[in-house]
Amino acid sequence: MTLTNPTQCGLPPWHTVGPLLDNADAATYAPAPLGLLEARQAVADHLNGAVVPAHVVLTASTSEAYSWIFKLLCNAGDEVLVPAPSYPLFGFLAGLEGVVVRHYVSVYAGGEWQVDTAALGEAVHSRVRAIVVVAPSNPTGSVLRMAELAAVEALCAHNGIALICNEVFAQTCGIYGAWPADGVRSVAGRSTCLTFALGGLSKACLLPQLKCAWIGMSGPAADLDSALAKLEIIADTYLSVGAPAQVALAQLLAMSTGVQANLHQRLTQNKNVLQIAIYDKPMTILPCFGGWSAVLRLPLGIDEELAALSLLDHAGVAVHPGNLYDFADHGHWVIILLPEPDAFAAGVAGLRQAALSWATDDAHD
Ligand SMILES: Cc1ncc(COP(=O)(O)O)c(C=O)c1O
């Protein structure tokens, strides 16, 4: 239940994708630092025209996008503020650029996650260069609300720092329940501060192996022009996106709606199976709006890591303990909802068994 590789869950339609990559236009090397214009146009269309193609930058992955943006914005020792809980890559990505990561917390209260914007404001000081937001969040699936976005943008504009928004799960918005009216689907095209909207094929089309992602840039004109000119030099130094994916990008993105429909079905089916299996057990699935994960809150007194190790030992079922994702408090498991239904159901059965033993232990206590 830790399978995050979408190419191993039987969903991506490779029989359709493969032929798209066999294109004579990709036979010639045409180095374009920010990406081929038709590919950047395809991304602009995918973002509903919120940014123009000239403000789209292609990268091999969103991870690479972060590293280029950190090179662009930061000197060694500068800082970026990243969310907690969140997926565990920021420390590595920033560290490799000599950049320091500071966490700002989202607090779970009243059935939803909220950014502690007051604490975030206090965390901004003269070495901070950017605030990173992941929306919907991995792993909590939480929504960024308009009021939170406005607060973050105001902080960024006031302090002359950038907003980096990871939107890779944007197309899963609202799959587990109604999308809130004030939920932000994308920051692409927003202009209060220098803004980077990140997405990529790895989540939009479940094709991480094609190595094609994007940054949609916007913001005050002078900041935007300067950032684009510098980013072009960084991109020109690497030229990392392959031609076949760029040439096929418009067709690949056109497939994303169908891919996402199948994905949604898988995620909701697996989540329902999990929900039914634990309904009478002392653990709950926290509400979420998007993404590929379910966060389970464990009963008080259960050590998330020891319990995960015990589940692995006794049932051969792997789950992620919450500490992998920097939850502020202990007692969470993160379950990935991607696996094929039979494998997922087997994992759920093991998990239910583990919960039964907790109930028995409680009774003994
Ligand atoms: C929220 C989020 N962003 C980005 C990535 C990495 O995506 P990419 O393959 O584009 O680097 C992951 C990986 O799981 C992720 O969970």
pLDDT in tens, the chain (365 residues): 999 999 999 998 899 999 999 999 999 999 999 999 999 999 999 999 999 999 999 999 999 999 999 999 999 999 999 999 999 999 999 999 999 999 999 999 988 999 999 999 999 999 999 999 999 999 999 999 999 999 999 999 999 999 999 999 999 999 998 999 999 999 999 999 999 999 999 999 999 999 999 999 999 999 999 999 999 999 999 999 999 999 999 999 999 999 999 999 999 999 999 999 998 888 999 999 999 999 999 999 999 999 999 999 999 999 999 999 999 899 999 999 999 999 999 999 999 988 878 765 544 33
Pairing of strands 112-115, 320-321: unpaired
Residue 243 token pair: 């031609």
Query: Rounded distance, CA 317 to CA 347, Å?
Result: 6
What CATH number did the domain enclosing 267 receive?
3.90.1150.10
For ligand 1, pick from 138, 207, 212 the residue to mutate: most ligand atoms within 8 Å of CB.
Answer: 138
Same domain, 163 and 24: yes
Evaluate: CB of 291 within 6 angstroms of ligand 1: no
Name the one residue in this structure whose structure tokens are 């091999």.
60
**Please, what is the Cα angle at 195 between 261 and 175, to 5 degrees?**
20
Say if residue 275 is in the same domain as residue 198: no
Q: Please check whether residues 125 and 220 belong to one and the same domain.
A: yes
Sheet holding 112-115, edge to edge: 56-59, 213-218, 195-200, 162-166, 128-134, 79-84, 100-109, 112-115
Same domain, 202 and 101: yes
pLDDT of residue 364: 38
pLDDT at 32: 97
Distance from the CA of 363 to the center of ligand 1, in angstroms? 42
d(CA 115, CA 147): 10
Residue 239 sits in the same domain as residue 287: no
297: which DSSP letter? E
**Number of helices (H), then strands (E), in the chain:** 12, 12
Whether residue 347 is found in the same domain as residue 202: no
For residues 262 and 250, membership in a common domain is answered with no
Q: Are residues 171 and 288 in the same domain?
A: no
- From residue 165, alpha-carbon distances to 28, 169, 206, 296 in Å are 34, 11, 20, 25
* Its pTM surpasses 0.85: yes
Query: What ligand 1 atom has the least distance to the C-alpha of 138?
Result: 1
Number of domains in the chain: 2
Does some domain include residue 185? yes
First CA to last CA across the chain, in angstroms? 30
Q: Which residue, judged by its Cα, is nearest atom 1 of ligand 1?
A: 138
Domain that holds residue 357: 257-364
- Ligand 1 pocket member 139 (CB < 6 A): no
Query: How far are the Cα atoms of 27, 57, 190, 270, 358 from residue 244, in angstroms, in the given order?
Result: 8, 17, 31, 34, 52
Do 181 and 266 belong together in one domain?
Answer: no
The answer to whether residues 187 and 263 belong to one domain is no
Asked, for residue 6, whether it belongs to a domain, the answer is no
